Chain A
Amino acid sequence: MMYRDHQLTEDGKLKHFLSIEGLNKTLLTEILDLAESFTSLADHGRAVKKVPLLRGKTITNLFFENSTRTRTTFELAAKRLSADVLNLNISTSATSKGESLLDTLRNLEAMHCDMFVVRHASSGAAHFIANHCAPHISVINAGDGSHSHPTQAMLDMLTIRQHKSDFTPLRVAIVGDILHSRVARSQILALNTLGVTEVRVIAPRTLLPYDARSLGVHVFTDLHEGIEDVDVIIMLRLQKERMTGALLPSEHEYFNLYGLTEDKLHLAKPDVIVMHPGPINRGVEMDSAVADGKHSVILEQVSNGIAIRMAVMSICLGSRPEHQRREETA
């Protein structure tokens, strides 16, 4: 709840998109509805696959951490809305973050940017920037440390809704590296806010946070038990770059115990969908037969990522309170 005030305007509209935390079902549904209508821009009949909604706005991708797919989909989303896009890859050497970051911000503000899309290896970086940037700027969190990745969670929700229409009766299993996953935290919050019946997390004990249950989930350490009768399976990537120490015996053993294969998939509901935020480690998190199989919706997730980012960008930039807009034009 601590972020509620940071993300919303006085009249309860989304100004920044930093975390699923503090957003109610109505707001999340609005994002999904708008994203749904943006998906129609990819229709074959359209000669021009963009709309002039954010014409004249400047959106800056501030990536302190590399991520080709996320950066590309944010860039494409901004361009489909006719915004101008600036891509900045800023390396985070061992600077004392506070000072240098603020200097960067002041410089970007001087270039008259309207939105920062922030990706950072430290939890809370996007919130920090939202707190310290000029009042007319909106900030979108594109992943901060192991804290949250709200647009990824929302594109997953959109994909689930397109296949299952109603969230209420669903049982959803999230499998893999829950401990290091900002995606999992955001997904759990979003699923519970949208009112699914059950969220399960499935992982070896070493990859579960010690307070997993407090997230509002049922915890399983056995994949067979965990995916029984679920409607949705979300596989997470093994975050090798975030792992320190001996959390796993080997990738091979991980695959034997937690890798998704067609055999294991039979335990879930017959119309189960399989998701993965990418990039997939084939033969570690899942078999190629599953990744490319009929239950997989992984590539739909990528397309939906553009629509969700378009929705969040246009909601944030369209919800500035009146007095702020007056100041801008003054």
Chain B
Amino acid sequence: MVEQVTQTAFMQENAILDLIDGMASQLKRQLQQNGISEAAMIGIHTGGVWIAEKLHEKLQLAEPLGTLNISFYRDDFSRIGINPKVHPSNIPFEVEDKHIILVDDVLQTGRTIRAAMNEIFDFGRPASIIYATLIEKDGRELPIQASVVGLKPMLKQNDYLTLKGPSPLSLVIGRKLSGGDSEA
């Protein structure tokens, strides 16, 4: 059965770019505090890569941007199977001993980040990982928290935010309708 959802616009590109600016300054401060002079960045497919591309440019990092597709590391494979259209992960630098900034669009359960960190460790042992997310939502199922957050909006329980892009970027609220509603 196809799940019924309604979608309404939440945020347009300009406002999102402002959030990314804020994330960039937070990241600079964080790197400074931690005494990190050189960091490398990895974005998580798909929305995280769009955010990471902009952050990477603002922070003017020397290493090229890495992209991560966590499909092969998900914990729900035996429930939902696999999507054949997987853009392979591409990390164009040595992970070993690097300080990594990991970027995603929405943090909710924390399962994506668990999978992403597992995959990063299969490339090598990083010196540290800083996690930056555009949106933080309630609903953590794992002990994971972001160091840098663009926005923590107030949302109703059945609402979820989706980042659309890459050009222009926009945030959309989807609302799951309960069984009765979807029949109506």
State whether the Cβ of A299 lies closer than 8 Å to any Cβ in chain B: no
Min CB distance B85 to A, Å, is 6
Contact A47 B72 (CB under 8 A): no
* Contact residues in A for B165 (Cβ distance below 8 Å): none
Contact A52 B82 (CB under 8 A): no
* Contact residues in A for B71 (Cβ distance below 8 Å): 37
Among residues of A, the one whose C-beta sits closest to the C-beta of B69 is A37
A-B pair number, CB within 8 angstroms: 65
State whether the Cβ of A248 lies closer than 8 Å to any Cβ in chain B: no
Contact B88 A48 (CB under 8 A): no
Contact B91 A45 (CB under 8 A): yes
* Residue with the greatest number of chain A CB neighbours at <10 A, chosen from B72, B73, B77, B88: B72
Contact B88 A37 (CB under 8 A): yes
Determine the distance from Cα of A315 to Cα of B118 in the docked complex, in whole angstroms. 22
Contact code string B77-103 (vs A, CB < 8 Å = 1, else 0): 111111011111111111110000000
State whether the Cβ of B123 lies closer than 8 Å to any Cβ in chain A: yes
State whether the Cβ of B124 lies closer than 8 Å to any Cβ in chain A: yes
* Contact residues in B for A46 (Cβ distance below 8 Å): 122-123
- CB < 8 Å: which of B81, B87, B93, B94 contacts A13? B81
- CB < 8 Å: which of B72, B85, B92 contacts A45? B92
- CB < 8 Å: which of A36, A37, A325 contacts B79? A325
State whether the Cβ of A122 lies closer than 8 Å to any Cβ in chain B: no
* Interfacial residues, chain B to chain A (CB-CB below 8 A): 69, 71-73, 77-82, 84-96, 118-119, 121-124
25 residue pairs bridging A and B, Cβ less than 8 Å apart: A33-B84, A37-B69, A37-B71, A37-B88, A40-B90, A45-B91, A45-B92, A45-B94, A45-B95, A45-B123, A46-B123, A47-B95, A51-B73, A51-B119, A51-B122, A52-B118, A53-B73, A53-B82, A314-B77, A314-B82, A315-B81, A315-B82, A317-B78, A318-B80, A318-B82
Closest 4 pairs between A and B when the two form their complex, measured CB to CB: A318-B81, A40-B88, A51-B72, A30-B84
* Interfacial residues, chain A to chain B (CB-CB below 8 A): 13, 30-31, 33-34, 36-37, 39-40, 43, 45-48, 50-54, 311, 314-315, 317-319, 325
A45-B124, A47-B95, A48-B123 given; 5 more Cβ-contact pairs under 8 Å = A13-B81, A33-B84, A45-B93, A47-B124, A318-B77
